[in-house]
Chains A and B, each alone.
Chain A
Amino acid sequence: MHRCHLPLALLLTVATTTALLLAGRHQGFTRDEGYYFQAAEMHVAYYEEALAGFASGKPWTFVDRRVIDRWFSYNSEHPPLMKTLFGLSWRLLHRCRCPEERGLHPIAYLRRHRTLGLLSQGEAMRLPAAGLAGILVGAVYLLGARMFGRGAGLVAAALTILAPRHFFHAQLACFDAPIAAMMFLTTAAYYMAQTTGRRRWLVATGVLAGLSIATKHNAYFLPFVLLLHSLWARRHLLKAKDVPRWRAALRVVLAPWIGAMALLSVPVYLLTWPWLWHDTLRRFAAYVAFHLHHVHYNIEYLGQNYNRPPFPWHYVPVVTLLTTPVTTMVLALVGAVLGLAGLRRSWAQGKPDGAPGLLIALGVLWPMLLIARPGTPIFGAEKHWLPFMPFLALAAGFGYTRLWQWCSAAFALSPRQRQLLGGVLAGVLIVPPLLEVRRSHPYGLSHYNALAGGPQGGADLGMNRQFWGYAVRGLFPYLNRHAPPGAGIYWHDANLYQIQMSMKDGLLRRDLRDTGLEEPGVRASDMALVIHEKHFNKYEYWIWDAYGTTRPDEVLTHEGVPVVTLYSRR
């Protein structure tokens, strides 16, 4: 490995993490973050109680079922790794005023925590996700550089995070960007294990696989995808001379990474999740059942609201086409075409090369194909196939580098001219996705790309405007200025915990009351919000009925498209 690779990867990691943290200061908290903030503090409380047990001569506190159940039963439908990391980051870094924040935490804190006091509570919770996205960008650079050269790695690393939807999710204390990162890291470790045969990469593959399934359940499918790739990449072993055919076939199938994954992933997974240490089978079955029988949420697609299967098969490709930066997709297409053109030669040579192209193709396709099944539960949009993004970026990086090489050769450029063309081309191709990210922030879920015609084009097409209620943040300044003291607010789809975090971070006045859910909440309120999604229209009509007007006080927009509308009782 070139000696500049690691420092450059580190630089990319730090720059990405910092950019995400800074951008996150303007990013509203989401519904799901609200639940994870609660769980994160509880996970930390478990580790504090376990450590206190060690210190006070009760070393088995950490396996005490009552202790585990007290802190891990909440939100046990999701694995713990990220929530635990959110909690640890919060515990170490937040600026604490916890005793004055009674009612805003899941636990009553009598004393201030001793912390480093570097970040607000929300920022501290979000840091691990931002950090993982940073590590992902660094890892994409390293793998891209190893596969196709430094230029490809750099372009791929940039395009990985310069995608409005990925950038949005990477800011959040949720699991969608982290699982994209974890699955890429596992795949990268697998690739290194396959191509180098080194034991440390085998160990990394097993450990990362365990951490991936401790992040989100998407990772359960990864070994099957890697197996497909492994069979192809190891096919040359079938040609081994002096080895019986059955034995050669076994060597193709039973790759070392499989053993590493089988031996290490499950212990790592169990280690992260004390909830499974008691009543293991029943609790694991309940976790699996939750996801197998997940309720179908509502999602608008091409003007129609879907909340029951079958889902149109074309949902996944069309949403991808309308949300990913066009330049990234075009470069990936160039990469795919030029890669396929070179494939014939590679096959003819028959040399083992680790099949990077196939790995990238699988990495792009399988997350999409899984969700594209018409019966797959509907509970979100592109975040469920977000793991495709770093692989698409790698394909784009490959496309960039092959285009550069091709043009350099076709025009017989001098080495200096080649360098210049490479640098200029990379810079030019990164600008449009960068502008798209800047344009989308902080309403990334309302953003659609140039193919859609931007956010207004997305609205014209009847594409989902948003979910998770995060956009209410944009109305906080108005509410802080105009809401009467102690006003009752109907927060619609924004949940109590995300509002509480906004209050803890000083973004929203503490005296504003939550009037509760559904129509009684609307009727009891002084001010009411409606977050625009097609199926939420009825909530706006409830407000008209209760307030006797259709005239809102304020309409929050993203490039002219209404995102949240606020009414006052007059």
Chain B
Amino acid sequence: MGSVRTPGSHRLLAALTLAAVLAIAAWEAGLALVGPRRVAGPQHWHAAAQAVRASFLPGDLIVVAPEWASPLVRRHLGDLMPASMVGRPDAARYARIWELSLRGAQAPETAGLPVEGSSQHGPIRLTRYRNRPVQVTFDLVDAFVQARVFQHPLAGGADGEMPCWWGGPPPGPTRGEAGGFYCRGSKIERRVMEIDYQPRLGVVVPAEPALRTVIQYESIPAAAWQGAQLVAWFGLHDYYARKTDSGPVDVVVEVGPGQDRVSVSVPPQGWHRVKLRPRSPGWVRIEVSARDARARLLGFAAELRR
């Protein structure tokens, strides 16, 4: 090799190659030795958690970046992070956001928000952000048990209504099967759903062949409508069901009587948001159907907010 090179350049090339290989080996060995020591330990998490607890207020949100560290944060702050917070549809209702972050990561919820303060606890950066919260006047997931749930054939219009009846315990922790509305071939229940691999507290509506399932909220207080808009989110629950190659789920959201209506075709991926602006108090109706209903579990969350 290098027979045409001068001995000097030959020597230089050999030296540079050797130095490069040794430098890479030293870098890898150094990281192998130092890397494990740079990790946030229980004492760091504990200190950061104590700092949050000292100033945490009801209505605050705790977020984690990167997301994979979430169990470590919940290990220390899980009592302040109920499923309704961790499985929130978005962060709009929270006045202050506490972000615990590693490795310079930032949660999407805090992008662009003004910083109120921050502190460092070993490798953990704790930052508090100020948010301009919306006021939720009626949460359709919380009020799920008050809804009227029924089905009717897709082909028969509104004729042939088949009611679904509540069975089992009210929503909440239980050792046995959870409660829900039992329809002809499905159960509609409130739970923490897995949509796009994210937790979402909402209502799961399995699509049924040739049937339209309707969840209708008829007893929303008049005060909740004043100046409010209806925001709803939709996605398909359960990765295993999403793996099945059936089509989208068709959803119709209607504010009535005769006010606003929107149709959404919900694909397997994503958490899709729709907004409707009611003009006066009335009812909210969510209709769910699918041309191919195999393994289609629609999940939704919705609220009136201003």
Contacts and interface: CB of A to CB of B under 8 A. Distances in A.
Contact of A552 (B7, B14, B75, B240): B75
Interface stretch (A190-198, A263-271, A454-462): A454-462
Nearest to A433: B28
Interface in A534-557: 534-535, 537-538, 540-542, 544-555, 557
Interface string A128-165: 00000000000000000000000000000000000000
A559 B28 contact: no
Interface in A321-372: 325-327, 330-331, 334, 338, 341-342
Given A407-B15, A460-B66, A544-B83, A559 B36 contact: yes
B173 interface: yes
Contacts of A338: 1
B45 to A, nearest CB: 9
Given A406-B14, A552-B75, A562-B72, A454 B31 contact: yes
B138 to A, nearest CB: 23
B35 A559 contact: yes
A308 interface: yes
A399 B282 CA distance: 77
B24 A298 contact: no
Contact of B29 (A431, A459, A542, A546): A431
B86 interface: yes
Contact of A429 (B21, B33, B238, B245): B21
Interface of B: 1, 7, 10-11, 13-15, 17-18, 21-22, 24-29, 31-33, 35-36, 39-40, 66, 68-72, 74-75, 77-79, 81-83, 86-87, 102-103, 105, 172-178, 191-194, 197-199, 238-240, 243, 245
A488 to B, nearest CB: 10
A449 B35 CA distance: 11
A435 interface: yes
Nearest to B87: A541
Contact of A403 (B18, B87, B193): B18
Nearest to B239: A535
A431 B32 CA distance: 10
Contacts of A410: 7, 10-11, 13-15
A405 to B, nearest CB: 10
Contact of B22 (A326, A428, A550, A553): A428
Contacts of A541: 83, 87, 191-194, 199
A298 B239 CA distance: 10
A308 B243 contact: yes
B35 A454 contact: yes
9 contacts: A307-B239, A438-B32, A456-B102, A532-B71, A538-B239, A549-B82, A551-B79, A552-B71, A554-B75
Contact of B243 (A307, A553, A560): A307
A334 B24 CA distance: 13
A561 interface: yes
B35 A555 contact: no
Given A403-B17, A406-B17, A432 B239 contact: no
Contact of A334 (B17, B68, B77, B243): B17
A330 B24 contact: yes
B239 A342 contact: no
A551 B17 contact: no
Contact of B14 (A308, A411, A550, A560): A411
Contacts of B40: 560
Contact of A551 (B11, B33, B75, B175): B75
B72 A432 contact: no
Instruction: Specify the main secondary structure of chain A where it touches its partner.
Output: helix
Most chain A Cβ neighbours within 10 Å, of B32, B36, B193, B198: B32
A449 B33 CA distance: 12
A281 to B, nearest CB: 33
A342 B197 CA distance: 51
Contacts of B79: 549, 551
B72 A555 contact: yes
A305 B86 CA distance: 21
A561 B24 CA distance: 25
A167 to B, nearest CB: 14
A432 B87 CA distance: 42
A136 B273 CA distance: 57
Contacts of A307: 239, 243
Contacts of B78: 549-552
Given A327-B25, A407-B14, A551-B81, A545 B32 contact: no
A545 B21 contact: no
Given A327-B24, A338-B1, A459-B66, 15 more contacts: A407-B14, A409-B14, A411-B11, A411-B15, A432-B26, A435-B32, A435-B33, A449-B28, A459-B68, A540-B199, A548-B172, A550-B86, A551-B75, A551-B78, A559-B39
B17 A305 contact: no
Nearest to B34: A454
Contacts of B14: 406-407, 409-411
